Amino acid sequence: MKSPGRALAAGLAALWLGACGRTVPAEPRPAPQARLKLLQAPQAELDGWAALRGKLVVLEFWATWCDACLEAQPHLNDLAERFQGRPVQFISISSDPEKEVRAFLKKHRISGWVGLDESGAAFEAFRVRGLPYTVVLDPSGNILGETYPDQLTAERLEAMLQAAAVKP
C-alpha cells in the first residue's frame, strides 16, 4: 500500500512528467545504483543514493558535444541556484572522458555537482537513449519520473518538496 506522501509525490510526478511524453511509474521504484566520480562536490565519489537520502535528486544526463544539453544548462543552473540550501541536489552526469568534461567546465558553468560515468554504467542502468535526459529521485532514492530539462520548473520542484514532507 502506498503511503499518502508517496501517493501524492507519485501523483505530482504523473501530472507534470506524463504531460511531456516520458515514463512515469505508477508508484516510485528504486533507482538503479550508480557509482560516480564527482567534480564540484564536497566528496570525490558517490557510491549509490544512500548519501543523498532526505533530498530530491535531479539527475541530468548530458554530454559535452550535445547542443540541446548546452541549451538546457542555463535553466538547470537557475534551478540549482534557486534551490541552494534546500533539500534538492542537482547532479549532471556525463559519460565523456574526464579530461573533456574538465575542459568543458572551464568554458561553461554547471551549478550542481558533475558526475563522471566514463564506463556508461549509469547511462545503461537508467536506460538513457537520448540527451538531454532528466530523472528525478524522491528523498528515499526512488524514481519519481523522467522528463526533459525544460519541463522541470521551480514550481514543480517546490510541489515535489512539499509532497515529500507529507508524513503518513
Q: What is the pLDDT of residue 164?
A: 79
pLDDT at 13 over 60: no
pLDDT, one tens digit per residue, over 84-126 is 999 999 999 999 999 999 999 999 999 999 999 999 999 999 9
Residues 6 or more apart whose Cβ sits within 8 Å of residue 107: none
CA atoms within 13 A on the CB side of 111: 18
29-152: in CATH 3.40.30.10: yes
Q: What is the pLDDT of residue 23?
A: 53
pLDDT at 22 over 90: no
Which residue ranges make up each domain of the chain?
A: 29-152
Distance CA(148)–CA(142), nearest Å, equals 18
